[in-house]
């Protein structure tokens, strides 16, 4: 009786595994990498700069190196794409300033 119970449990388990491992016919032969890729075209700002203005929560209204940035505050793109502020400086109003010594930007941008 115990052997019959074990045999039925194993048979049910194998049936469930076979059902789980079955793949739909439409993706058979397709790699997992290709299945993960979205078929929708991605809109990027290098091809359409206006996308930075239209996406809520984007990095800013300007496009630099295919990323939406704010040229007035971005420390890697201060006033223009690729202009980096030094380690001790920050970008305020498109200028690299030292927040420890600048009277208009004391500790943070716009703090007098």
Domain ranges in the chain are: 42-112
Q: What percent of the chain has pLDDT over 70?
A: 62
Task: Give pLDDT, residue 91.
Answer: 97
Task: Give this prediction's pTM.
Answer: 0.56
Residues of the chain with pLDDT under 50: 15-25, 39
Q: What confidence score (pLDDT) does residue 50 get?
A: 85
Where b means 16+ CB within 10 Å and e means fewer, 62-91 reads bbbeebbbbbbbbbebbeeeebebeeebbb
How far apart, in Å, do the first and last CA atoms of the chain sit? 86
Find out whether 7 and 13 touch, Cβ atoms under 8 Å.
no
d(CA 76, CA 74): 5
């Amino acid at each position: 009786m115990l052997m019959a119970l074990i045999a039925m449990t194993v048979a049910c388990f194998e049936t469930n595994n076979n059902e789980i491992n079955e793949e739909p016919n439409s993706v058979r032969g397709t790699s997992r990498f290709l299945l993960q890729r979205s078929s929708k075209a991605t809109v990027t700002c290098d091809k359409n700069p206006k996308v930075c203005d239209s996406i809520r929560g984007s990095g800013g209204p300007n496009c630099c190196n295919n990323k939406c940035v704010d040229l007035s505050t971005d420390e890697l793109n201060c006033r223009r794409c690729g202009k980096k502020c030094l380690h001790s400086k920050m970008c305020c109003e498109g200028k690299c300033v030292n927040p420890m010594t600048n009277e208009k930007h004391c500790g943070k941008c716009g703090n007098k």
